[in-house]
C-alpha cells in the first residue's frame, strides 16, 4: 500500500489556530439542521493505519486529513459518538475563521462577472455556456476554449472541474486561473497556443453554487460541504462526490444517513448538479466514442494527486487492468512531480464510493484524476486558506494542467504503449 499521503511531520495544534474541546455527549443531538446539521470539526486520535481510516469513514464522518496519527474529520455529534464507540479518542476542534471579508476570493456573482468579461475579451477562442440550473436555480457555467470555439472539431477533449464541495473555495479560483491561462496566453505562449489549437478544453468553474453561497452567508464561513437540496428528516444536502452512478453506495465509502457529511443521496444522480454534469459528459459521446479523454476534478485539501478506483483498495479491478493501472500511476506520478503533491490511488487514503473519477473512468474511459489542493495540513488554513495564497497555489498546478491536456491524445504514451492502444 502506498504511504499515507497526508502524513506530514506537522504539529496538529498550531498556537492560536486550534483549540481542543472534549466531546460532550449531552450535546449530541442535532438542534439546527439548517446549519451544517450541527456538524463540526473533530480530531480523532489513534488513527494509525488504513483499517482505522476506513472504520472512521464508515461512520459517515468526512475525513479531511490525517496528520501524525490523528484524523481531522467533519462529523455530526452522532457520528462523533459512533467513532468514540469504536474505541477512538475524539476531541472537538474549534478553528478560528479567516476575516469575514475575504476579498481575494470570488463569490458566485463575482465569478460569473469574471467569466463574462473573459468571454467578451476572447470571443474567438472562448464561449461561456451553461450546464443547466442548480437545485436553487443558479446557472452552472460551462466554459469552452478552442481555436474554432463555435465548431465541434475532431480533437481530444479535456475537462477541468471544480467546487463539488461547497467549502472548497480555492478550487473556484483554480478554475478561473485556468480560464485566464488558456485565453490570455493564447498567441503569446507557444505551448498554450498549440494546446488551444489542438484540443477542445472544457472548464466547469462551479459545480455547487448553492452550497458555496450558503457557506459564506452572513459574511462568515459555515463549514458547509454538500449541496442544498432537502435530504429528509429536516436536513439538507447531498455530498455531490458520493452521488455518481458507478459503485454508488457500495462499499461503506459514503453514508445513507441524511445528516451525514458524506450522505450519498437516495439514489445515484439524485442531485441536479451531478445530473447536469453527467448529461454534458454523455453528450460528448460522438458515434459511441467519448471525446473527453482526460479530466481533473479539483478539491481541497491535502496536496494529493488521486486516480481510480476509490471504491476498492485493489490496484486492478474490472475495467482497470495492469496497463491501465500502470498508466494512471505513471501519469499521476508525473503530474505530482510537477506540483509537489503526493500521488496515490484514491482508495489508498480511504474508501470512497460514488465518486466522479470512478464514474468517468469506469463508464466513459476518461483518464480522470482528483487533485486535492493546498494546504497539506489543517494548521495552514484547512478548507479556508487566506486569500494571499491564491495566486501561488493556483499557479502551482499550471504545469500539471498543461501536461494532462498534452497527454489527452493518448495517455498510454507514458508507458510506451501508444502503438498498441492509439494506433492512429
What's the pLDDT at 114?
95
Order of strands across the sheet with 70-75?
Answer: 18-22, 89-95, 40-45, 70-75, 62-67
Instruction: Return d(Cα 26, Cα 8) in angstroms, integer.
Output: 34
Does the domain at residues 18-95 carry the CATH identifier 3.30.70.2980?
yes
Selection from 394, 390, 379 nearest residue 68 by Cα:
379
So what's the pLDDT on residue 39?
79
- Position 374 scores a pLDDT of 97
Give the bridge partners for 289, in sequence order.
Answer: 286
Residue found by looking up cell 471579508 in the block: 101
Residue 404: CB partners within 8 Å, gap ≥ 6? 158, 294, 296, 331, 335, 367, 369
Domain with CATH 3.40.630.10 in the chain: 108-421
User: Which residues fall within 8 angstroms of residue 308, CB to CB, at 6 or more apart?
Assistant: 320, 328, 345, 346, 357, 358, 361, 362, 368
Relative to beta strand 289-290, strand 285-286 is antiparallel
Reported CATH class of domain 108-421: alpha beta
Burial 80-111 (b: 16+ CB within 10 A, else e): bbbbbeeebebbbbebeeeeeebeebbebeeb
Q: 18: exposed, middle or buried (C-beta count within 10 Å: 0-12, 13-18, 19+)?
A: buried
| DSSP-based three-state secondary structure for 266 | coil
> In this predicted structure, what is the pLDDT of residue 232?
85
**Which residues are catalytically annotated?**
372
**pTM metric for this prediction:** 0.84
The pLDDT of residue 17 is 31
Residues of the chain with CATH 3.30.70.2980: 18-95
Cell of 313: 483498495
- In 3D space, the residue among 327, 324, 341, 330 whose CA is nearest the CA of residue 399 turns out to be 341
DSSP symbol at 317: B
Please give the chain's pLDDT, 424 residues, in tens: 333 333 333 333 332 333 333 333 333 333 333 444 567 788 898 998 999 999 999 999 999 888 778 898 989 889 999 999 999 989 876 544 334 557 789 989 889 999 999 999 999 999 999 999 999 999 999 999 999 999 999 999 999 999 999 999 999 999 999 999 999 999 999 999 999 999 999 999 999 999 998 898 777 889 999 999 999 888 999 999 999 999 999 999 999 999 999 999 999 999 999 999 999 999 999 999 999 999 999 999 999 999 999 999 988 788 899 999 999 999 999 999 999 999 999 999 899 999 999 999 999 999 999 999 999 989 898 999 999 999 999 999 999 999 999 999 999 999 999 999 998 7
**pLDDT score recorded for residue 9:** 32
For residue 286, give the H/E element and its range. Answer: strand 285-286
Amino acid at each position: 500500500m502506498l504511504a499515507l499521503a497526508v502524513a506530514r511531520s506537522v504539529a496538529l495544534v498550531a498556537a492560536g489556530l486550534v483549540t481542543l474541546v472534549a466531546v460532550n455527549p449531552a450535546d449530541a443531538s442535532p438542534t439546527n439542521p439548517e446549519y451544517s446539521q450541527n456538524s463540526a470539526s473533530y480530531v480523532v486520535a489513534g488513527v494509525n493505519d488504513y483499517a482505522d481510516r476506513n472504520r472512521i469513514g464508515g461512520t459517515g464522518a468526512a475525513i479531511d486529513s490525517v496528520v501524525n496519527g490523528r484524523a481531522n474529520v467533519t462529523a455530526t455529534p452522532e457520528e462523533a459518538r459512533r467513532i468514540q464507540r469504536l474505541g477512538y479518542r475524539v476531541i472537538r476542534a474549534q478553528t478560528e475563521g479567516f476575516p469575514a471579508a475575504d476579498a481575494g476570493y470570488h463569490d458566485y456573482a463575482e465569478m460569473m462577472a469574471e467569466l463574462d468579461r473573459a468571454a467578451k475579451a476572447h470571443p474567438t477562442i472562448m464561449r461561456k455556456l451553461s450546464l443547466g440550473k442548480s437545485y436553487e436555480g443558479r446557472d452552472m457555467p460551462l466554459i469552452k476554449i478552442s481555436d474554432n470555439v463555435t465548431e465541434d472539431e475532431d480533437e481530444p477533449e479535456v475537462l477541468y472541474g471544480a467546487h463539488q464541495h461547497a467549502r472548497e473555495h480555492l478550487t473556484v479560483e483554480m478554475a478561473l486561473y485556468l480560464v485566464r491561462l488558456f485565453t490570455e496566453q493564447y498567441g503569446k505562449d507557444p505551448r498554450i497556443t498549440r494546446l488551444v489549437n489542438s484540443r477542445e478544453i472544457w472548464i466547469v468553474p462551479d459545480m455547487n453554487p448553492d452550497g458555496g453561497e450558503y457557506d459564506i452567508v452572513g459574511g462568515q464561513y459555515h463549514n458547509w460541504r454538500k449541496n442544498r437540496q432537502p435530504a429528509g428528516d429536516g436536513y439538507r444536502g447531498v455530498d455531490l462526490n458520493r452521488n455518481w452512478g458507478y459503485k454508488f453506495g457500495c462499499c461503506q465509502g459514503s453514508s445513507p444517513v441524511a445528516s451525514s457529511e458524506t450522505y450519498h443521496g437516495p439514489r445515484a444522480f439524485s442531485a441536479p448538479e451531478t445530473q447536469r454534469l453527467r448529461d454534458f459528459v454523455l453528450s460528448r459521446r460522438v458515434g459511441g466514442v467519448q471525446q473527453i479523454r482526460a479530466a481533473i476534478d479539483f478539491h481541497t485539501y491535502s496536496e494529493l494527486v488521486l486516480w481510480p478506483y476509490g471504491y476498492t483498495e485493489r490496484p486492478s479491478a474490472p475495467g482497470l487492468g495492469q496497463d491501465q493501472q500502470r498508466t494512471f500511476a505513471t501519469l499521476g506520478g508525473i503530474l505530482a512531480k510537477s506540483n509537489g503533491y503526493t500521488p496515490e490511488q484514491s482508495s489508498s487514503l480511504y474508501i470512497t464510493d460514488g465518486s466522479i473519477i470512478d464514474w468517468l473512468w469506469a463508464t466513459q474511459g476518461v483518464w480522470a484524476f482528483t487533485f486535492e489542493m493546498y494546504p497539506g495540513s489543517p494548521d495552514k488554513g484547512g478548507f479556508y486558506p487566506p486569500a494571499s495564497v491564491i495566486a501561488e497555489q493556483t499557479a502551482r498546478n499550471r504545469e500539471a494542467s498543461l501536461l494532462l491536456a498534452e497527454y489527452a491524445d493518448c495517455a498510454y504514451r507514458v508507458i510506451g504503449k501508444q502503438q498498441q492502444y492509439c494506433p492512429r
